[in-house]
């Protein structure tokens, strides 16, 4: 069985939270493990860390402030976030970025919170997991200031056009592809673009419980997307790219391990769990 890592699961504060055990085990049964749990604001990030501590090696998480919550960013937020990222379960700063589609937070505050989180990630030498919607120009301008100081940068749930894709790849970004690519109504352009993403820059995700792949047959009874469906998304993308399902799955798995430094994280967890001799 191929192995997969779901790089973006909205486990906390979503419809998945009440069945965490089942979500994790059902995913693992399909080869999807570990899962990367998204932190979209500071309290949720703290909850994500606590959840990950209960499922070592099965869950890791990000810690950050989504643009929807940027109005909550305060002078002390950077220090609070820094403390959260010190936990071994945290593998990236984020989800951070800009969202001009809904404007749940004022745009100046979105830009301030985004820049502050990029600065912190650069200081800590941590990768970032980012969100961008209808904000390409401002997003790109801010990111360019910090990209050279970041060990890795991932734009998750990429649904942009060819111009934006080329600009992001020129900055050496990883692009996360979801089941959006399986949507014959909205995902046609992405289905064409996904062919052009280099093998070493593509990652896959469900963004569950959102974006259930429309092309799944039989269609799941529940409208909720789940990490266990990631192999379907992987196979769909592999077919678009003319690659074997197994080789594509192996490559994106390796990309995910490398991007989030999961081999190093696993070594740290083993060291922390082993008893130490005292003299």
The annotated binding site for a divalent metal cation is made up of 95, 131, 156, 207
- DSSP annotation of 86 reads T
Nearest alpha-carbon partner for 255 in 37, 44, 7: 7
Q: Which residues are known binding-site members?
A: 95, 131, 156, 207
Q: How far apart are CA 109 and CA 186, in angstroms?
A: 30
CB 68 within 8 A of CB 99: yes
Q: For 35, what's the count of Cα atoms within 13 Å in the CB-facing half-sphere?
A: 36
172: which residues sit within 8 A by CB, 6+ positions away?
147, 153, 201
88: which residues sit within 8 A by CB, 6+ positions away?
265, 268, 269, 272
CB 260 within 8 A of CB 35: no
Phi, psi of 8 (to 5 degrees): -155, 100
């Amino acid at each position: 069985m191929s192995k997969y890592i779901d790089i973006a699961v909205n486990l906390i504060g979503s419809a998945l939270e009440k069945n965490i055990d089942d979500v994790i085990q059902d995913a693992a049964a399909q080869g999807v493990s570990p899962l990367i749990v998204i932190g979209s604001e500071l309290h949720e990030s703290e909850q994500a860390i606590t959840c990950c501590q209960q499922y070592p090696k099965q869950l890791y998480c990000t810690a950050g402030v989504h643009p929807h919550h940027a109005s909550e960013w305060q002078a002390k937020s950077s220090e609070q976030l820094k403390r959260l990222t010190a936990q071994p379960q945290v593998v990236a700063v984020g989800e951070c970025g800009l969202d001009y589609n809904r404007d749940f937070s004022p745009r100046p505050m979105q830009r301030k919170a985004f820049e502050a989180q990029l600065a912190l990630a650069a200081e800590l030498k941590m990768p970032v997991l980012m969100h961008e919607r209808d904000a390409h120009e401002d997003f790109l301008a801010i990111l360019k200031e910090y990209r050279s100081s970041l060990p890795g940068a991932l734009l998750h749930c990429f649904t942009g056009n060819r111009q934006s894709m080329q600009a992001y790849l020129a900055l050496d970004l990883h692009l996360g592809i979801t089941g959006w690519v399986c949507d014959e109504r909205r995902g046609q352009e992405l289905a064409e673009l996904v062919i052009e993403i280099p093998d070493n820059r593509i990652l896959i995700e469900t963004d569950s419980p959102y974006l259930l792949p429309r092309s799944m047959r039989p269609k799941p009874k529940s409208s909720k997307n789940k990490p266990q469906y990631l192999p379907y998304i992987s196979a769909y993308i592999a077919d678009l790219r003319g690659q074997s399902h197994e080789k594509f799955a192996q490559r994106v798995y390796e990309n995910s391990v490398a991007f989030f430094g999961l081999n190093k994280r696993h070594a740290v967890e083993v060291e922390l769990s082993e008893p130490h001799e005292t003299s």
